C-alpha cells in the first residue's frame, strides 16, 4: 500500500503505508514537514492536508472535533482534512494528499 504526499514546496513523495496507521504518522515518519503537534489526538490541526477530490468520498466523514479545528485553521478549503483522523486501509491505497502550509513545523 502507498500514499502520495505532496509537500508545501510542491515535491511529490510516494510513501509506503501500513494498514491501520494514521496517514499523519506515515507522513511524519518519512520526515516530511508536518508538525502534528498533539500527536494525533485531534486537538491541534497542525496535521492539516488537502485530500485529492477523487478520494474524499472514500473517507469516513469528519467528527465534530475535526470540523471545529478545521474551521479555525487559517488555510482551510473544501477538501481539507486532519491527516491524523484518516486511517490507512486497502481502500485508500494510492490516496493523494497535499500538506497544508499551516502544517509546517
Ligand atoms: S496531530 Fe493534532 S489534530 Fe492531528
Domain ranges, ordered by start, for the chain: 2-103
Whose C-alpha lies nearest to ligand 1, atom 3? 42
Q: In CATH, what is the architecture of 2-103?
A: Roll (3.10)
Q: What are phi and psi of 64, to 5 degrees?
A: -60, -35
CB of 7 within 6 A of ligand 1: the answer is no
pLDDT, residue 73, reads 95
Site to probe by mutation for ligand 1, drawn from 22, 37, 80 as the one with most ligand atoms within 8 Å of Cβ, is 37
In contact, 63 and 54? CB cutoff 8 Å: no
Per residue in 2-27, pLDDT (tens digit) is: 999 999 999 999 999 999 999 999 99
Alpha helices in the chain (DSSP H): 23-29, 53-56, 64-72
Residues in the chain: 105
> Of ligand 1's atoms, which has the minimum distance to the CA of residue 84?
4
| pTM reported for the whole predicted model | 0.97
Amino acid at each position: 500500500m502507498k500514499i502520495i504526499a505532496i509537500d508545501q514546496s510542491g515535491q511529490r513523495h510516494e510513501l509506503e503505508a501500513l494498514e491501520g496507521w494514521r496517514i499523519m504518522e506515515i507522513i511524519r515518519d518519512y520526515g516530511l514537514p508536518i508538525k502534528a503537534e498533539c500527536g494525533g489526538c485531534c486537538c491541534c490541526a497542525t496535521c492539516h492536508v488537502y485530500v485529492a477530490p477523487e478520494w474524499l468520498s472514500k473517507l469516513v466523514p469528519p467528527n465534530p472535533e475535526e470540523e471545529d479545528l478545521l474551521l479555525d485553521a487559517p488555510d482551510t478549503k473544501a477538501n481539507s482534512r486532519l491527516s491524523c483522523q484518516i486511517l490507512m486501509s486497502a481502500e485508500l491505497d494510492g490516496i493523494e494528499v497535499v500538506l497544508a502550509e499551516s502544517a509546517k513545523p
